[in-house]
A = this chain, B = another copy of it.
Amino acid sequence: MEQGGRRIPEATVARLPVYLRILYDLAEQRVPTISSERLAELAGVNAAKVRKDLSHLGSYGTRGVGYDVEYLLFEMSRELGLTHDWPVVIVGVGNLGHALANYRGFSDRGFPVAALVDADRSKVGEQVGALTVRHLEDLPAIVAETGAAIGIIATPAAAGQEVADALVAAGVRSILNFAPTVLTVPDDVSVRKVDLAVELQILSFYQQRRTGARRPPDRLGTTR
């Protein structure tokens, strides 16, 4: 399997973690093989898409048998860069930053939180678990010391771009952005955005249609 050689479509990349989680579950249950149909069902996509996605990894399965779970898990972990840890630096140690710092799901899956950073000097020195909050201006040193590969921005919207600039200047090339703002970064930097309220808005769309509720527009005109 060659690195960086084949183009894998973005939508496929976004589905790989979904397959990965399913494969881990299957491996834990000692299921030896899985058909594309079953994998598709578990992932909530169609079987043709599964076969296409996996063919990008060079995996074609065996007719009548399906895919070897352990081998597919190995291939996918390698492709996703999960065969070693990627240290993470979290910038912004408010409520969300604290939660992310304490979220075991990150370190369990190979993304240990290596450093916490804030621009607010009153937060510098605060102890959060095993880590001490450091100042934003120390970011280049922190990245050099910890080998942090991924920066998580957990600041308010207004600070997002400044923090992104600081991360990029410190050498970070992967950013997970929780600040509700669009970031401008160089072409060689990857940004993923998480907006928790967007998911609630999508739910409220369906809820609204379901209930047909039409209460007075008491919230219009407010900024959210």
Contacts and interface: CB of A to CB of B under 8 A. Distances in A.
Interface of A: 3-4, 13-14, 16-18, 20-21, 24, 27-28, 42, 44, 74, 77-86, 88, 95-96, 98-100, 102-106, 108-111, 149-150, 173-176, 180, 182, 188, 190, 192, 194-220, 223-224
Report, nearest first, the 8 A-B pairs whose CB atoms are least far apart: A99-B99, A81-B208, A109-B224, A83-B217, A81-B204, A95-B102, A174-B203, A17-B198
27 contacts: A3-B208, A3-B212, A13-B206, A14-B198, A16-B205, A17-B197, A17-B202, A18-B198, A24-B223, A27-B223, A74-B220, A77-B219, A78-B217, A79-B205, A80-B201, A82-B201, A83-B215, A83-B220, A88-B200, A96-B99, A106-B196, A108-B224, A109-B200, A110-B224, A149-B211, A173-B210, A190-B207
Contacts of A102: 95, 99
B84 A150 contact: no
Nearest to A22: B182
Contacts of A204: 80-82, 86, 110-111, 149-150, 174
Nearest to A107: B224
A69 to B, nearest CB: 13
Nearest to A206: B190
Nearest to A95: B102
Contacts of A213: 81, 84
A131 to B, nearest CB: 14
A22 B150 CA distance: 27
